[in-house]
Amino acid sequence: MKDIQYVILEKEHFDGFISRLSSLQRLVAPVAKGYNNYAFEELTSGDQIALNYIPTILPPKKYFLPQEETLLEYSLDKGLHVDASVTYEKMVLFGVHTCDLAGIQCLNMVFSQKPKDYNYLVRKNSIHIIALECTAYCDDHASCNLVNASMPSGGYDLFFTDMGAYFIVHINTQAGDEIIETTNLFERADRAHLRELVKLREQKRSIFKNELSIDPRNIPALFDRSFDSPVWKDLGDRCLACGNCTNVCPTCYCFDIVDEMNLDLKGGRRYRRWDSCQLEPFAKVAGGENFRKERSARQRHRYYRKFRYPVPHYSRFFCTGCGRCTRTCMAEISLKETLSALIGGVPTQL
């Protein structure tokens, strides 16, 4: 730990920090919505922020890959004219947990891969991220340790850790440093602060333990032998094919592209919107053939897209352990239970 990269913010200055930051640019942070639901929303004062929150209904991907976004605009009346454009806004995300940092990192990898998605990248470059450390599990649905997302490992400009009376803040980027400089409420962390942080991280290691009885390194092999597992049929029998699990997933990015004419019929736009591999027509072709007709095949596809298919391409799982898919599922399909069933149902090969 280089102490020059660490500063502290006394709790009494937190409100001041948030209001100064929000006066500079759009600021979004988790807000309590009742019944233990939280959402990232725009705000201007610190007391609106839920510092102790379980994963928001939608992950911060909604700012990187909006539910709906225009890709092309065209006018047809005076000769055809087409413009490809991106709409973006400079903003700061405050309070992003490590699971959601992992989700953003996954999306960054996908959309940076050639051919690059400039709509995503322009927006990504206009968003600064202030992360907030989890010091305990949000609830039983989380499996962040399994996928190595419980500890900070980059992907943020500033990283806040709540130490009770103050926050200790890791400055990770130049942009993060500029936020510290402009808001001007932080003090240099001393050795004692850093020792406290080290202690907190050690405690965390005893709290966050692998949630399932499998070494994560063996997960791809587990999936290699689970393609015909009866577990998928069970999920297929329960799944309602509503697409909630993919909508709330921080790493699901499948989309549809749709044209829409303006009411005056002189022009229109082409936009993309979130789509879901769980919906029945997703893999259907014009001739009527559907390559994933069964719900069981679609649920299996979702799990393989988290734990198997991305591994050779991105060297990581596309599950962040946030537990959102489990919390939102009306049929109570649980990610941890599904993985446990796979682990239990297949003889382990050591």
Partner 1 sequence: MKKVVIEESHYNVRIGKIIRTREMTGHEKLFEIALGGGVSLEHEPGQFIMLSVFGVGESPISISSSPSLGESFEVCVRNVGKVTGALHKMGAGDEVGIRGPYGNGFPIRILEGNDLLLVAGGLGIAPLRSLINYVLSNRRDFGKVHILLGCKSPEEMLFVNELDLWNRRMDVYYECTVDRGAQDWAGHVGRITTLIPGVHLEPERTFAIVVGPPVMYKFVVKELLAKDIPERQVLLSFERHMKCGMGKCGRCQIQGVYVCKDGPVFNYADIKNVSEAL
Residues that bind partner 1 (CB under 8 A): 71-72, 74, 76, 80, 82-89, 110-111, 113, 115-119, 122, 227, 253-261, 265, 268, 270, 272, 275, 277, 282-287, 289, 291-292, 297, 301, 304-305, 308-309, 312-313
- Using the Cα atoms of residue 180, residue 181, residue 187 and residue 188 in order, give the sign of their dihedral: positive
The least distance separating partner 1 from the CB of residue 288, rounded to whole angstroms, comes to: 9
Residue type, 317: F
The least distance separating partner 1 from the CB of residue 232, rounded to whole angstroms, comes to: 11
Q: Which residues contact 127 (CB under 8 A, 6 or more apart)?
A: 63, 64, 90, 91, 92, 93
The least distance separating partner 1 from the CB of residue 84, rounded to whole angstroms, comes to: 4
Rounded distance, CA 291 to CA 300, Å?
Answer: 13
Contact status, residue 147 vs residue 98, Cβ threshold 8 Å: no
The smaller minimum CB distance to partner 1, of residues 8 and 252, is found at 252
The smaller minimum CB distance to partner 1, of residues 34 and 287, is found at 287
Q: Which residues contact 217 (CB under 8 A, 6 or more apart)?
A: none
Both tokens assigned to 326: 């489990």
The least distance separating partner 1 from the CB of residue 89, rounded to whole angstroms, comes to: 5
Residues counted in the chain: 350
DSSP code string of 39-75: EEEE-SSGGG--SS----SS-THHHHS-SEEEEEEEE
The least distance separating partner 1 from the CB of residue 77, rounded to whole angstroms, comes to: 12
The least distance separating partner 1 from the CB of residue 148, rounded to whole angstroms, comes to: 21
The smaller minimum CB distance to partner 1, of residues 201 and 284, is found at 284
The least distance separating partner 1 from the CB of residue 250, rounded to whole angstroms, comes to: 16
The smaller minimum CB distance to partner 1, of residues 192 and 265, is found at 265
The smaller minimum CB distance to partner 1, of residues 71 and 241, is found at 71
The smaller minimum CB distance to partner 1, of residues 69 and 337, is found at 69
User: Nearest to residue 297, comparing CAs of 283, 310, 287, 309?
Assistant: 283
The smaller minimum CB distance to partner 1, of residues 51 and 86, is found at 86
User: Nearest to residue 167, comparing CAs of 177, 176, 159?
Assistant: 159
Contact status, residue 342 vs residue 349, Cβ threshold 8 Å: no
First-residue to last-residue Cα distance in the chain:
37
